[in-house]
Amino acid sequence: MDPAGPSWQPYDYTEGASAIDIDAAVASSRRSRRDSQLSLSHTPYGEDGEGAMFDGPGHSAIPSSVSRMSHHERGLAGRRSSEWERRRGSQENIRAGRSTSRRGSENSVASNGGSDAVGAEEEDVEDEIFNSQHRTRSSTALPPRSSVLENLAHLFSRNTVDDSSHRRPPSSRRSSASSRFARWGRHSDAGSDYALETDDEAEERWGYSSGEEDDEGSINANDDTVSQSDVEYGSYAASPNSASLPLLSADPIFGDEARIDMDLPLDDLDPPPPGPPSRQTIYVPDEDSTFRLVGYETIHWRQNLWRLCCIMTFGVLGLLGHWFPKLWLQWVAKEKAFIDISHGFVVVETTYRDMALFPLQHIKYPYHVSTVFPTPSLDLNRRINSIRRSSASPARKPGDGLDSEVQMLDTLHIVDYRYSRFALDPRTGLFNIIRDWRDPSWKDLLSVQNGLHQPVRRQRLILFGNNEIDIEGKSTLSLLVDEIIHPFYVFQIASVILWSLDDYYYYAFCIALISTMSVTTTLIDTKKTIARMREMSRFVCRISVFVDSAWVERDSTVLVPGDIINLSESQSTFFPADMFLLSGDTIVNESMLTGESVPVSKFPIKDEDLGRWKDSEDVQGDAAKSFLYAGTRVVRVRGSLAADGTAGRPALALVVRTGFNTTKGSLVRSMLFPKPMGFKFYRDSIRFIGVLACMAGVGFCASAIQFIRLGVKWHTIVLRALDLITVVVPPALPATLSIGTSFAIGRLRKLGIFCISPSRVNIGGKVNVCCFDKTGTLTEDGLDILGVRGLDRNVQRFGELIDVVHDLPTSNPRRDQDKANFLHALTTCHSLKIVGGEVIGDPLDVKMFEFTKWTLEEGHVAGTGIIKGKAGAERPAALVQTVVRPPGSAQFRLEDALKSGTKHAHFLELGVIRTFEFVSSLRRMSVVVKRLKSTSMEIYVKGAPEVMSDICQRDSFPQDYEDLLSYYTKRGYRVIAIAGKSIEGLSWLKAQKMKREQAESGLRFLGLVIFENKLKPGTAPAIQALRTAHLACRMITGDNPLTAVSVARECGLVNQAAYVFSPVFIRGDHTTPLAKLEWSCMDDPYWKLDAYSLKPLAPPPHHTVEGDEIDYQDYALVVTGDVFRWMINHAALETLQRMLVKTQIFARMSPDEKNEVVERLQALGYTVLMCGDGANDCAALKAADVGISLSEAEASVAAPFTSSTPDISCVIEVIREGRAALVTSFSCFKYMALYSLIQFTTITLLYSFASSLGDFEFLYIDLFIIIPIAITMGRTLPYPRIFPKPPTASLVSKKVLASIIGQIAITSAVQFWAFFWVRGQDWYTAPNIITNPGSNDDHLQAMNYENSVLFLISCFQYILVAAVFSIGPPYRKPIWTNGWLMFSIVTLTLFNLLVLVHPPQPVRQILELMVLPLSARMSLLFAAIFNVALSMAFEEWGTQVVAQAIGALFHLRRDRRRSREGKAYKAVEGGMR
């Protein structure tokens, strides 16, 4: 594609578009909104040919057949908004003049301040250089954090979000993307946000820009717009001195909590400097991450000045530069083109606001440019040279590392980021990712068979590095520094120093001790985690490599792409790199990738597949059958045989990816750098702390005025001000928030449920939809054969169910078509192998073969033959792949396979001559079989019953075929159909050359094999409990829809009486944009749904139930993978949303489609729990908010939770504990907030006359009251049943605000009453305020009546608010069941009563209390009792009244708030009633 884009000039936002063009663009936008209201419109969208069918509003969001709808998120409210809202907002932005891009997702956007000399020609060149690539999305599990204070910094997690951001589509489009090339280009600020694009312009818009282009996830008309983020770089901590990102997460202590919009658009930057590009936005598909590179050069005199200022400020300025990198960058560096950087660095910023600095490394590389970067065409090369000559920057210096005449590099500029290497192309000034490089000489097997010479290996070792997944381990000192310079620990250190200056040594020591234990535990845990991951990731073995035409033994760490290695001589149990099999065959266990321990056979790669590899980014199509993934387990390796039956070539493999570039390396990177998720509670807690800090400031300002009036020394005023901050924002606050989570994790561990991501525990409390895999999760793992149903040809119906193979009749063929035997099909139609004398393969195949009681011999039992191809090429093939025989038979003979009429073979034996492997799209496999004494060969096919009608003769089906099939599938049985045919005179050579289409046609139906898959004992009760709690349940399975519906009804996931509707294509198929679906009731095919609204139409006249008696809400949908894919790409947005809300069963879903179902539900505002057994569920488990794996395979590492009990009862436990932990976090936060405000009120009142609490009064409150209660509050157990309504996750909800505001008012009122009451008593004496300016004593007087009264009354308040906020049912058990908490409350209450009524002399002296009259002590006691009663009554009844008042204040904003929260599913559900 060669776009005819305008020539962009700086700051000319409409250059290249006339006024008529602009008006046309705006009119087109309006027209698209108007046209979208026309239902049942089947007009293809746009003029670019990428059509879509739309029948309702929001059609512009409907992706084309090669893309998917991207999600728009509104992060401020913490949820993804409805996509219709997103469309509407985007179209309004168009009218406002903001640009909308028709392209899909860019792989890379380079930024440049354009020059006059560079025009449209450059844009064309850049568009030709790199091709576009679809964006994908996936969620990863967060890393383990298991320190004492595991989530200490939830409060400081980076949860500030933007009003508008982009959600890329999930990863299931990866497999369907037709082009996988990277697109790189340059853009100017002119094209950044304000350039209008007319319909007449090309699909792609390329200009010189800052790189702040819209990032869409679909190719046609995804007009998302980028808005400025609420917070700049400076709001997020990162290190300007760090050479790498933190090892395990964006923020190693607090940064991995998220369910809010963490994936934000990159911030807009100032216009870049003129000249070559200095900015570039890159999308890495296998990590689903977008980040921006910006080049900087250090200004040395500014850097020295910065260091001097850091010394002068005692490191404070350095900390600010670490937390706010933008400040540091603006001070010491200036932006510079990548290619001009000599002593600078590259700043990498992700969409999660992580920033890190990496030096631009310069390595000696005297090799041709094509060894690193793709070779451009001659015409493109000419244009690149034209760009270089016309560039406004000076001519390239020798330092750029390229001899333009011979295209030889001298120096290579690289950046290593997250174990991925990026190299700077001197021709374009942009970075390329090294792992996308392909050797252009890899055209066929002949071109790679000679391996590499040593000089080439040396060059590639420099470029790709060692072949090892070696995780860099930081030193203990480095990890310690990273921990203690976090804002939370800095605040704690400052508090400890402040308290020490104030002689408050006891509490300072306690907090210092707790912090030291926390840091130590975290360091030990981090070191263990790193060691465990290094042990899991690193693998080294000895391998035989073909170098310089000779075999040499080398260490696997020195392998490079292009090496030929000998697998036959390797003793390794794992493959050391990603490789293509060139000869021989292997059986591998890929459970590391799929979680499913099913052996997979690999075959040599074909020439055309190898040729396609160099033009693709990942393994596609048939090439996957030859691809050996690094880290997968070797089950068996065999070399090939020569034509004479002797040993031929050994098993050879071509190395294509090494180290972190392998698939295993990608998996490790995803665990090292997980995608953060946001959670509203932690974001709100940050804001609430900000409010508390503001209150502290206001309170101190009032106190400072009084201090000055009383003549208090200035350093005392400063000390008191800082002390007030530690009162209002207690350093122990983050620790208390993690207590409930820690106890919940401990209880789950006792139940056999292990958590590696503590933040997901609280998120589990908000789950409102549960998704389950079927096989191995809802049902038992294995399938058992119920029996087989053959045919009774006499009556053309099925025979009886046979559950013993000996009862299966053997046919006595009277004609050719009867030679195909059902029993023979059962024994041969499989892909089983023999390894170590054991039959291995697909469990279903194993069960079927074991049912026959036959024996299997696999291997080159009869030598090989030569097959000549069309081009004259020869390839050897085994004469017989597999031999099966009844027990006790003799050996298969070679001549029996070759001769057509032998007479001396007197035993039954079958040889598999050729196998057509199972293809998921065809849903079947087939074999060509030779029987002894036979002059023919038989072809047997095994597959899904639905596909048999296309390949079998109609007259071969029994009359009751549909009835019997429906009978079994509706009852949850797995049914496999068998068909076959006989071909007389078919020779071995013809069989080898036969096409699959010929083999799998004209077949005769033979019978059905019925497997039963029993429900697990715990499934039905768990589903019943979840549905009773009003939690939506979904089944996502790869099985047949009829079987899935049957299992769903059996376990109660779908009501027995509910009507289930399923769709079929009545026009076109899933690849046809204008296809049409018809939704029919599975129990009554004549009852339909409206195709747009998905509401049931009037039932047919013969319906057994009258129309007015039907509950139209009690129906469910079942959707298959092909229909789901079509609806994602082509259906109306409203129809798609209704389908997602109403569908309870997703059948025939691929692993990527399972992942997309989860993400689509999340986009509607659901909090999704996914439970699977690890088999093909890895992506969905990682994407879900809460993923629970029932598998012990390596894939379970992807899930936050792993259950050792293999049934779904663990889901109930996780939700119960999650809700209890969430409520506990709320209770602890509210308690700590009230504790701070109660003490703040006390201190403020005392400050009014230059007094304060004494040190031991502070110590008693902080250490002996607050800490025991805060810790024991989290020990309350979860409630046995799940309440239908989940707890709130927002601190600004009406109920929470009402509770906090009311309790603050009550406790403050009681303290004010006590303060003024004591001053009005006859026995009261005013304190003697003495201020001596010459004294160095910063302590304020504590011995006075006001102090004693406020201290005594507040001690009861600290205890009563703990009781008030210890929420019991419906999420936790009642407070009295928490023995430790009750013991703390009772003990402290009795001690407070003792201190109030009759204080012992030592206690009174230590606490510096005044002697009060008995009547005064009784008055305070009654005041405390009144306070308790009033607080309890308000919490029980008053909060509802206050909540209604707050709700009335928010009434005008309610609709807006709902849309921001993204609860689109509620609106969809409401629209379907």
Active site residues: 773
User: Helix, strand, or coil here: 996?
Assistant: helix
- H-only helix segments in 400-502: 445-448, 454-464, 476-484, 487-501
Extract the tokens encoding 519: 């840091």
Burial class (CB in 10 A: 0-12, 13-18, 19+), 1213: buried
Please tell me the distance from the alpha carbon of residue 494 to that of residue 996, in angstroms, as a whole number: 75
Look-up: residue for tokens 């292997």?
Answer: 586
Side chain identity, residue 1253:
L
Please tell me the distance from the alpha carbon of residue 888 to that of residue 903, in angstroms, as a whole number: 20
Exposure string for 806-837, b = 16+ CB within 10 A, e = fewer: eebeebeeeeeeebbbbbbbbbbbbbbbbeee
Return the closest-CA partner of residue 830 out of 484, 509, 599, 1036.
599
Cis before 1287 (ω within 30): no
**Bridge partners for 1415 per DSSP:** none
How distant, in Å, are the alpha carbons of 117, 121, 207, 347, 394 from that of 113? Answer: 12, 16, 10, 18, 15
> CB atoms < 10 A from the CB of 636, how many?
16
Please tell me the distance from the alpha carbon of residue 576 to that of residue 198, in angstroms, as a whole number: 52
Per the CB < 8 A criterion, the answer to whether 419 and 146 are in contact is no
CA angle 629, 631, 634 (to 5 degrees): 80
Contacts of 1196 (CB under 8 A, 6+ apart): 595, 1174, 1189, 1202
Phi/psi of residue 787, nearest 5 degrees = 160, -175
Please tell me the distance from the alpha carbon of residue 914 to that of residue 900, in angstroms, as a whole number: 17
Extract the tokens encoding 407: 């295209």
Per the CB < 8 A criterion, the answer to whether 1319 and 710 are in contact is no
- Tell me how far the alpha carbon of residue 729 is from its chain's centroid: 34
Burial class (CB in 10 A: 0-12, 13-18, 19+), 1109: exposed
User: Helix, strand, or coil here: 426?
Assistant: coil
Extract the tokens encoding 1: 């594609």
Q: Report the DSSP pairing between strands 186-188 and 108-111.
A: parallel
How distant, in Å, are the alpha carbons of 150, 568, 1230 from that of 514? Answer: 13, 57, 22
Please tell me the distance from the alpha carbon of residue 1282 to that of residue 1216, in angstroms, as a whole number: 6
CA atoms within a 13 Å half-sphere pointing along the CA-CB vector of 1075: 24
Look-up: residue for tokens 């595991």?
Answer: 150
**Bridge partners for 1202 per DSSP:** 754, 1189
Please tell me the distance from the alpha carbon of residue 222 to that of residue 67, in angstroms, as a whole number: 10
Please tell me the distance from the alpha carbon of residue 363 to that of residue 413, in angstroms, as a whole number: 7
Please tell me the distance from the alpha carbon of residue 667 to that of residue 1126, in angstroms, as a whole number: 29
How distant, in Å, are the alpha carbons of 110, 160, 303, 357, 1302 from that of 328? Answer: 24, 21, 9, 11, 44
The DSSP secondary structure of 1001-1016, one letter per residue, reads SSBEEEEEEEEE-PBP
Look-up: residue for tokens 């207590």?
Answer: 739
Extract the tokens encoding 936: 């023919």
Phi/psi of residue 1340, nearest 5 degrees = -95, 155
Please tell me the distance from the alpha carbon of residue 781 to that of residue 800, in angstroms, as a whole number: 27
